[in-house]
Amino acid sequence: MVITPVHYIIAPLIAAFAIPLLTKIHKDAARVVPGIVLFYNVIVSFVLMKHIREHGMISEVLAGWQAPWGINLVVTPFTGYLASMVSILGFIIWLYGFRFKRTLKGGEIKFYEILQMMMIAGSIGIIITGDIFNLFVFIEIVGISAFSLTAFYRSRDGAEAGFKYLLIGGFASAFLLLGIIIIYTQTGSLNMAQIAERMPDVPQQMKIIALIFFLVALGIEAEMFPLNGWAPDAYSQAPTPTSATFAAVVSVAGVYALIRVVYTMFDVEGVNNYLMIMGFVSMLIAEIAAISQKNLKRMLAYSSMGQIGLVLIAFGIGSKLAVFGALFLMLNHGVIKSLLFMTGSYFIYNTEDKKIKSLNGIYKKLPFVSFLFGLGALALIGFPPFSGFWSKFYILMSAADEKYIFLIIGILLVTVIELTYYLRVVGRIFFAKEEGEPASHKPSVNAIIAMSSLALFIIVIGVYPDLIMPHIQSAAEALLDKSNYIQQILSLN
Amino acid sequence: MEIIAIILLILLVGSFLTYFVDSFNKKWTGTTAFLIVLITAGIFFTKIKSGYQFNFQLAGLDLQWGLTDYSYYFVYIILGLSVLALLYSIKYMEGKARLGYFYGSFILTVLGMLGVVISQDFVSLFFFWEIMTWASFLLVIYNAYYKIKTKGIKYMIFSAVGAYAMFTAIVFIHVHYDTLLISEAIAKGAFNFEQYIYIPIFLLLGFGIKAAVMPFHVWAPPAYAKSPMSFTTIFSGAMSKMGVFGIGLVFTSFYLSSNPENFFWVRTILGWMGGITAVMGTIYALIQTDAKKLLAYSSVAQLGYIIVGLSTGTQLGVMAALYLAVIHAVFKGALFMVAGAVEKQAGTTDMTQISGLIRKMPYTFVVALVSIIALAGVPPLGGFVGKWLLYEALITESNNYILVVVVFFSSTAAFMYSYRFLFGLFLGQEEKETEHVKEAPATMIIPMIILAIIATVAGAYPGLIFEPAAKAMQAIGFQDVTWQMSSLTNVWGDTTDLFLIAMLIFAVFIISFVFLTLKGLKKTRYVGTKDISTSGELPKEWENLTFQLDFFKPFERAAAPLYKMDMNKIWKDLGKNLEAFFGFFRKIYTGNGQTYALYIVIFLVVLLLFRDVLFS
Amino acid sequence: MEGIFIKILGAFLTAILAFVVGMLYGGLRRKVIARAQNRVGPPIHQNFLDLMKLQAKRTNIAHGFMGHMAPVWIIIAAMTVLMFIPILHGNLWFENLTMKGDLIFLLYMMVFGSLGMALGAGQSGNPNSAMGVSRGLAQLVGFEIPFFLALIALMIQFNTTSIAVLMDHQEATGRWIIVDNPFAFIAALLASLGMFRYAPFDIVGAPAELASGPRSEFGGKYLGTMMTGGAVFAFIKLVMYVDLFLGGAGNNNLEGLAGTALGLVELLVKTFLLYMIPVFIGLVTPRFRTEQAIQFFWKWPTFFGILAIVWALYKNGTIG
Amino acid sequence: MTEFQILFEQHKDLITIAVYGTSIALIVIGLYAVLMKKHLIKIVIGLSIMDAGIHLLFVAIGYISGGTAPIFSRGNENAGARMVDPVPQALVLTAIVIGFAITALALSLIIRLYKHHHTANIDQLNSLKW
């Protein structure tokens, strides 16, 4: 069987429908099948990445219609890189959550697993689709799964967070649709490559208005200030693997969509500055809000928003080095923030409330988990020898190349804020006097494997970044080479 | 594999190894750490000679590691002191919790420091600098149970600001001079204040914060005092010297590559910052009641001298700074070990609670005495040499007459806290509370004694330190550095013959010791410290004979204006205000979904209204 | 060989001279004070008698090792400083090690003794001693500042840090430094008041208040040794001032013993006159509290010290 | 031509304006409801109205006056020129389905919220903030 990009989407869809049936056969099917599917996605990623390294990019056409008319899935080094990252992280998150809440009833766990899988599949769909309307559809798939998962726990304020998310998400879909309408009226196409090709002929005002709708709609997905009011609530109320997925998968897809639209479809001046400024503002506000959080997951959520802000800054700078740094940071942030959510989840699990102040001395109870959390915190701040260092390094380096001195100073000052609250938590975990009884919930084996593999990645890449850098490099090149993208898609097949 | 990479790998693996040894057997953790660093030091000093270089590529960057005489000079401090501190640490840390954590971070810190000095490109420098910073942060908060929020974090925030300032400078060196190699940057004049002035300023900020220079010194005293003493030995002795290392590099290259007369203000500002640091450190040291805090402030003051020395940019001044760097590491290392020994044996270093330990801890006292004499700069011990060089450099070469008085004031006032330290811990009334105190174990005494011996020998033969220091200076661009084995000469030709002085003092000491002390010792009997005369009246049982509180109150009163300017409070207020400000901004997230929706619409409208401004 | 012999003999001569003169000056001071207070007063050689009495006493109890060491530190400091101070200019017998150490060394060496004694005093556990030390150290910080300023003024005016070279200079020009830089002299003189610890700066050992301050717990031989040390130090300080500001002594053209004798007479006259200044000031002034003393030294003497530096720079041609 | 078509041809501009105006009015009404109404159900209704407006707009844009249904059939191969653009209709169908799903989800969340908080006023649902 030849593996093609559509397997990314077909496999989870089939599985999603099959799981309710399979649970009738064996009650653990709901847990295992998503794992198999996600692992299959990992395999797909590797095969496709190998293929595009050898033969160049893939553009798969669905239902036999040719590129501009039909729906197509595109795997360039750029989208391939992101899709691989998302599927690998998705698999690891599944592994972590494999024995997640064994106390849950079978029906609930079934929905959880299906929604989780659909969210990851939808994110991959966002990344690999070459069609702007399919982008919309996939965003909605991710959205609906995400809303439901946010409200997954009846006992928490999940419904409230879910409703807010849904409300904001509704705006996002409305504006996205408006943007699509405008683009469609002006270019008569929904294919991104063709839109990009025809974009120069579009009247300037129309172009800008369409762009603004896209920026707002996708900015919501990419957690850009001031459109990110939903994010802290959703992150903090969702089940932890879902929070990790939000950080590692959904936000990546959101940023991808924004960047794809801005970089490939439009050719408007000033949008880079917009990204840079809004990225910086997002980062600043998010970190400022994070510093006095009392709830661990909420703090991590704000931190995620801050990191996404940094990614947007880097995309705003727009040089090759900056894009490289941004892609590297997206990877790092996915990995590290997943690790932090995973470890943080065990803290929360053992403290009954999600408050930071009840983490005092939890090191005694959960030494390994605490160790990993500390490692993740240091890595996220950007300390060497962890992977986070390199991404921040390249982003700042690229900012320096463009001589944005105040931007650099600003980013670094914000990093100081970030460092303050992370290290306060680390200090609490390791050094404050412990309270309460010994741990009742030790991490399970699968969770340890998942977390350790992330930690290992952080250290190995931190010490020897060359392992991953060529891939990111080619991804960055692929993103920036717009004409090649257009030409390839329109001429392929 | 390159030998230097192997060394760093040994330390890295050793760090984890120690961590895991701890989970098997707590007794061996300290020994393992000690052996690892000892082996590293052994390999380093035998296999790597100055001039060694190793080029490689990582992450698309050309990196270079290597050793010049200058960096080798600092390696002596780092590895030498680390080995001694770890030997000391074995017993000092015995019985404490989280040993694996402690030693693991300790070795990582050593790795970081070693990395900093072997880095010959800025990326590695920053890389290791950060490792050093966070590893030491973990050690700083090791003891700070309830004060994490204020004490430990303060260190980290300052360090991070410093490191990031440095980083900013580095990226701009890359942009403006298209190089990441330190040597190339120097050759291209990157450290000059002429062209891109923010580069050297940011670099100096980064290094200066690590060296606890004036307005940024507030992190140092609590950090030094709160860390475990075996680590503070390294922290104050070696790690603060990393700042000196950097400032020396930046400054000398700046002075030597340009006409110093044009940059009078640069040297003046830096010199005065060092001078004020020295004064502030000293006057705050002498009002402390905790011996550790006293030493911590004293470290700040001593680093001020070093900065003053570097700021002169003259041969004698830089020599003074380099010499002081070593001798400060030696005597302050010993003193922190003394404080640690007292803490370990007596349970506290609060001088209002313990006193009169001299008869219980005689060896520790001797070490303390020798180190304090060296610290006070009284001949014939090593400290005097540093003071001499510094004054002579300021008077004869740098013509900075008021600054020299400031430095002198600081160093005279240092007599006060020197005495306070000895008196507070070892002299004075023998209280009941300290009756159980015993001498520290041998593995703690030995490293202290080694350091005390070095401090003593350096007094008579400072040439032993001058030799590598001179080489180091030549490595950073000074030409024909002259030095003598045991005498000091300034540019006016005035000499001080240290060997002669030491011999004279030694001879007089022997004679008077034999004829006075030995006799006295034989013929007298010891009576307790309660048996004293108070103007003819015998003190009553209940009478308080301990004088430890407000020891220098008269001086405090006299120097009251100096105590008014409290940097600590200024920074604290700044922090508080910032957090309040942040708290205000946080309110943007009102929690009401409708408000968020409103934000979106408003944002959309604003974008639509200003679309012509934003996009084109 | 002969050189070494002369050196050793010279060292002994110096020591004896310093001892005798210092003790006699101490006696003189007592006499002068007594006369001023309309008493007969002790004989001038009273200090020798006191010393003999003390040396004859047997010490029975001790307060620990540092107590035993205290006189040793004082002797070390006194002997060392003495060896590095030129007594008579250009005289082989009194040359000692004068070319081998400079002013900064002397400055630091001079506090060696007091610090050592302070340690001994500290171990006794007597709060009065500790209080005396605390005051003494604080006062030290006070008067060292103007003194150091004066020294710097001399150093930069004559481009040397060596006391011997300064003497050479005064002989060569025939002009005393008091003329060349009067402000330095004033600053140093005011500082010397604190250095001698006579009134108004005698709070360190304030007899009625602190017993005798740091010395409270010493007696017998040790106290005697300390007295000797104190006397020698008084002589040292006087000689140093004479060397620095008053042209030193022994700048005559006579050869051999006559020259030495004349030089010694000159030295005695100059030091005596100088010594009478703090003594007389002490006669007519009450006692400063420590902080008052410190503030005093940081005001006018420091002002004169700075003036001295400005003057030196002006004379030197660096400014003006 | 039917009577209706004739009528349509006569008032083409009017009808175009009416359609576009209706769609924009729907969007604005929806926005108003979402932003100003406090009741959760009303907000969801507003969201639906806004969606409906957008869908209407989309369909209206794709419409060619007097066009035929976008179906190729035998003997009518050249119909492409007079066809209504099929893409917006297809898209709107999808979007309606999605909107339906979202509305359903929203309503179920509202039920949950009401059970939990005993209120449907959005101002009182801010236990998660800052």
* pLDDT tens by residue, D69-102: 666 666 666 655 666 777 788 888 888 888 888 8
pLDDT at D76: 62
User: Taking CB atoms and an 8 Å limit, are C126 and B532 in contact across chains?
Assistant: yes
Per-residue pLDDT reduced to its tens digit, C208-267:
666 667 777 787 888 888 888 888 988 999 998 988 888 878 777 777 788 888 888 888
CB proximity under 8 Å: B 558-597 to A: 579, 582-583, 585-586, 588-589, 591, 593-597
User: Taking CB atoms and an 8 Å limit, are C126 and B423 in contact across chains?
Assistant: no
Determine, yes or no, domain membership for B359: yes
Q: How many CB pairs under 8 A join B and C?
A: 239
Largest Cα span, chain B: 100
Q: Give mean pLDDT, residues C101-105.
A: 84
| Nearest CB neighbour to C125, from listed B387, B429, B517 | B429
Q: Which residue has the higher pLDDT, A16 or A328?
A: A328
pLDDT at D64: 64
Measure in Å the smallest separation between the Cα of A102 and chain D Cα atoms: 24
Token reading at C130 = 């500790």
Touch test A–C: 3 Cβ pairs or more under 8 Å = no
| Nearest CB neighbour to A151, from listed D58, D94, D112 | D112
| Nearest CB neighbour to A174, from listed D50, D105, D110 | D50
Token reading at D74 = 């035998």
Q: Give mean pLDDT, residues A351-359.
A: 76
* Amino acid letter for position C162: S
Token reading at B386 = 């540093």
Q: What is the DSSP letter of D66?
A: T
What is the domain range of residue B599? 588-616
Contacts of B13 (CB under 8 A, 6+ apart): none
* Bridge partners, residue B62, by sequence: B57
Helix (H) or strand (E) holding C305: helix C290-316
Nearest chain D residue to A144 by CA: give it: D102
Whole-number CA gyration radius for chain A: 21
For the structural domain made of D3-124, what CATH number should be given?
A: 1.10.287.3510
pLDDT at B334: 92
Could you tell me the residue ranges of all domains in chain A? 7-491
Query: Can you say whether the dihedral through the CA atoms of C12, C14, C19, C21 is positive or negative?
Result: positive
pLDDT at B367: 92
Residues of C in contact with B551 (CB under 8 A): 130, 134
Q: What is the DSSP letter of A444?
A: P
Residues of B in contact with C81 (CB under 8 A): none
Measure in Å the smallest separation between the Cα of B586 and chain D Cα atoms: 6
Residues of A in contact with B142 (CB under 8 A): 431
Both B490 and B603 in one domain: the answer is: no
Contact C140/B at CB under 8 A: yes
DSSP line for B478-539: --S----SSEEE-TT--EEEHHHHHHHHHHHHHHHIIIIIIHHHHH-EE--TT---BTTBPP
Nearest chain C residue to B530 by CA: give it: C125
Determine, yes or no, domain membership for B234: no
CB proximity under 8 Å: B 571-600 to D: 586-587, 589-594, 597-598
Contact yes or no for C153/C309 (Cβ under 8 A): yes
User: Taking CB atoms and an 8 Å limit, are A389 and B588 in contact across chains?
Assistant: no
Contacts of C163 (CB under 8 A, 6+ apart): C84, C85, C86, C98, C102, C103, C106, C240, C243, C244
Closest CA to C185 of C242, C108, C235: C242
Subunits in contact with chain B (3 or more CB pairs closer than 8 Å): A, C, D
- Residue B592 φ/ψ region, left for φ over 0, alpha for ψ in the -120 to 50 degree band, beta for the rest: beta
Question: Three-class SS of residue B413?
Answer: helix
CB proximity under 8 Å: D 68-97 to B: none
State how far the Cα of B304 lies from the Cα of B240, in Å rounded to an integer: 11
Q: Which residue has the higher pLDDT, A370 or C97?
A: A370
Q: What is the reported pTM? A: 0.90
Subunits in contact with chain A (3 or more CB pairs closer than 8 Å): B, D
Could you tell me the residue ranges of all domains in chain D? 3-124
Q: What's chain C's average pLDDT?
A: 85
Residues of A in contact with D36 (CB under 8 A): none
Contact B520/D at CB under 8 A: no
User: Taking CB atoms and an 8 Å limit, are B138 and A208 in contact across chains?
Assistant: no
What is the phi/psi pair of residue C234, to 5°? -60, -45
Measure in Å the smallest separation between the Cα of A185 and chain D Cα atoms: 7
Provide the CB-side half-sphere exposure for B288 (13 A, CA).
26
* Bridge partners, residue B488, by sequence: B496
Determine, yes or no, domain membership for B415: yes
* Confidence category of residue D68, pLDDT binned at 50, 70, 90: low
| Nearest CB neighbour to D130, from listed B591, B598, B601 | B591
Name the residue with tokens 């991404």: A391
Among B469, B497, B525, give the residue marking a domain's end: B497
Touch test B–A: 3 Cβ pairs or more under 8 Å = yes
Count the Cβ atoms, other than its own, within 10 Å of residue B519.
Answer: 14
Subunits in contact with chain C (3 or more CB pairs closer than 8 Å): B
* Bridge partners, residue A111, by sequence: none
pLDDT at B450: 92
Nearest chain B residue to A390 by CA: give it: B59
The residues of chain B scoring below 70 in pLDDT are 144-152, 258-262, 534-537
Q: What's chain A's average pLDDT?
A: 84
Contact D31/B at CB under 8 A: yes
State how far the Cα of D52 lies from the Cα of B347, in Å rounded to an integer: 77
Determine, yes or no, domain membership for B6: no
| Nearest CB neighbour to A133, from listed D91, D105, D117 | D91
pLDDT at A290: 86
Q: What is the DSSP letter of A438?
A: P
Per-residue pLDDT reduced to its tens digit, C195-218:
888 878 888 777 666 666 777 778
Closest CA to C112 of B7, B8, B373: B373
* Amino acid letter for position B466: F
Cβ burial C218-248 (10 Å sphere, 16+ → b, else e): bbbbbbbbbbbbbbbbbbbbbbbbbbbbbbb
Whole-number CA gyration radius for chain C: 20
- Residue B68 φ/ψ region, left for φ over 0, alpha for ψ in the -120 to 50 degree band, beta for the rest: beta
State how far the Cα of B508 lies from the Cα of B503, in Å rounded to an integer: 9
Nearest chain D residue to B597 by CA: give it: D35
State how far the Cα of A18 lies from the Cα of A37, in Å rounded to an integer: 11
User: Taking CB atoms and an 8 Å limit, are D35 and B587 in contact across chains?
Assistant: no
Contact yes or no for B79/B114 (Cβ under 8 A): yes
Is pLDDT above 70 for C157?
yes
Contact yes or no for B66/B75 (Cβ under 8 A): no
State how far the Cα of C253 lies from the Cα of C259, in Å rounded to an integer: 7
Name the residue with tokens 């390839």: A488
User: Taking CB atoms and an 8 Å limit, are A405 and B172 in contact across chains?
Assistant: yes
pLDDT at B396: 83
Contacts of A322 (CB under 8 A, 6+ apart): A314, A315, A316, A394, A395, A398, A399, A402
Contact D4/B at CB under 8 A: no
pLDDT at A493: 47
Q: Which stretch of A237-251, A287-301, B200-214, C204-218 has the lowest confidence by average pLDDT?
A: C204-218
Per-residue pLDDT reduced to its tens digit, A171-187:
888 888 888 888 888 88
pLDDT at B83: 92
Contact yes or no for B441/B92 (Cβ under 8 A): no
Q: Which stretch of A107-116, B171-180, C125-134 has the lowest confidence by average pLDDT?
A: A107-116
Residues of D in contact with A144 (CB under 8 A): 98, 101-102, 105
State how far the Cα of B204 lies from the Cα of B263, in Å rounded to an integer: 15
Nearest chain A residue to B615 by CA: give it: A270
Among B455, B482, B497, give the residue marking a domain's end: B497
Q: Give mean pLDDT, residues A431-459.
A: 79
| Nearest CB neighbour to B592, from listed D31, D34, D122 | D122
Determine, yes or no, domain membership for B111: no
User: Taking CB atoms and an 8 Å limit, are B594 and D34 in contact across chains?
Assistant: yes
Provide the CB-side half-sphere exposure for B332 (13 A, CA).
32
Residues of A in contact with D113 (CB under 8 A): 159-160, 163
What ipTM describes this predicted complex? 0.86
CA dihedral D73, D78, D79, D81 (to 10 degrees): 160
Residues of B in contact with A288 (CB under 8 A): 582, 585-586
Determine, yes or no, domain membership for B424: yes
Helix (H) or strand (E) holding A147: helix A132-150
Residues of B in contact with A266 (CB under 8 A): none
Q: Which stretch of A341-355, A434-448, B154-168, D60-74 has the lowest confidence by average pLDDT?
A: D60-74
Count the Cβ atoms, other than its own, within 10 Å of residue A13.
Answer: 16
Give pairs for B548-552: CB < 8 Å, separation 24+: B548/B289, B548/B351, B548/B352, B548/B355, B548/B424, B548/B428, B549/B289, B549/B352, B551/B286, B551/B420, B551/B423, B551/B424, B551/C130, B551/C134, B552/B286, B552/B287, B552/B416, B552/B420, B552/C134, B552/C137, B552/C138
DSSP line for A7-73: HHHHHHHHHHHHHHHHHHH-TTHHHHHHHHHHHHHHHHHHHHHHHHHHH--EEEESTT--TTTS-EE
CA dihedral A213, A215, A217, A222 (to 10 degrees): 180
Determine, yes or no, domain membership for B611: yes
Contact B601/D at CB under 8 A: yes
Q: Among C99, C148, C155, which would you mutate to test the B interface (most chain B Cβ atoms within 10 Å of its Cβ)?
A: C155
Contacts of B46 (CB under 8 A, 6+ apart): none
Residue B205, CA distances (Å) to A15, A160, B140, B164, B407 in order:
58, 48, 21, 9, 22
Number of domains in chain B: 2
Using a pLDDT cut of 70, give the percent of chain A over it: 94
* Bridge partners, residue B497, by sequence: B487
- Exposure of B527 by Cβ count < 10 A (0-12 exposed, 13-18 middle, 19+ buried)? middle
State how far the Cα of B25 lies from the Cα of B14, in Å rounded to an integer: 16
Nearest chain A residue to D40 by CA: give it: A163
State how far the Cα of B611 lies from the Cα of A421, in Å rounded to an integer: 37
Residues of D in contact with B587 (CB under 8 A): 130
pLDDT at B489: 83
